[in-house]
A and B are shown apart, each in its own frame.
Chain A
Amino acid sequence: GQNIDQPTEMTATEGAIVQINCTYQTSGFNGLFWYQQHAGEAPTFLSYNVLDGLEEKGRFSSFLSRSKGYSYLLLKELQMKDSASYLCAVMDSNYQLIWGAGTKLIIKP
């Protein structure tokens, strides 16, 4: 079966760095997405990785290792507004997005 695993919840301090991991097992791979979702709102796109390596975009970076079925989202200089759920999603061979359950990130002052 297809499976996306990510931690349920993480806590970090304002100004610090946090890494949210995602491992996946899917039928085929056409890219991995990270989305941010605030409570009661729809997800917003953060990043897309299809090749191995690190993609940096401001305070957020995303890493992919296809051989390991592994990705992480790195958030630097954390701000209170970064408190949200972070969803990992993999596009499989049928171009369907397979979603992880999301990681709730709690930022403390």
Chain B
Amino acid sequence: GAVVSQHPSRVICKSGTSVKIECRSLDFQATTMFWYRQFPKQSLMLMATSNEGSKATYEQGVEKDKFLINHASLTLSTLTVTSAHPEDSSFYICSAREGDTYNEQFFGPGTRLTVL
């Protein structure tokens, strides 16, 4: 299957700093990428959907100025958590889809963010 990588896998930062997470599709062109957040023992929560070259579509309740998403190429999307706070500590997972809307989403390995 297709491979999606995420970097870093773990990050610990101080409150008030910004953290950038990269998501890359390694062997296919990802026309659409998704960013999810998952708190312990809870399901995946979609944060935003991004299509290459256009602005991301954020889900209700997700602050677009706090969670900056850039999808500048067909193989790379980035999520920047700005002015991180302890409540932003979570497991962030990206997924990528090639082509039309029926295609399977391939997930990255996730990034564990801890804000002190």
Which residues from A are CB-within-8-Å of B42?
101
Which residues from B are CB-within-8-Å of A44?
107
Which stretch, B12-20, B77-85, B108-116, touches the partner chain A?
Answer: B108-116
B44 at the interface (CB under 8 A from A): yes
Most chain B C-beta atoms within 10 Å of own C-beta, residue among A30, A91, A96: A96
**A97 touching B105, Cβ below 8 Å:** yes
A54-B90 Cα distance, complex, nearest whole Å: 36
Q: In chain A, residues 86-109, which have Cβ atoms closer than 8 Å to a Cβ of chain B?
A: 87, 91, 95-97, 99-102
- B residues adjacent to A (C-beta < 8 A): 1, 34, 42-46, 49, 91, 93, 101-102, 104-110, 112
A45-B43 Cα distance, complex, nearest whole Å: 15
Which residues from B are CB-within-8-Å of A101?
42-43
Chain A nearest Cβ from B91, distance in angstroms: 8
Partner of A42, one of B1, B43, B45, B107: B107
How many of chain A's residues have a CB under 8 angstroms from any CB in B? 20
Partner of B43, one of A31, A87, A95: A87
Chain B nearest Cβ from A5, distance in angstroms: 11
Pairs across A and B, CB under 8 Å, 12 listed: A35-B107, A40-B110, A41-B110, A42-B93, A42-B108, A43-B44, A45-B104, A45-B105, A96-B46, A99-B44, A99-B46, A101-B43
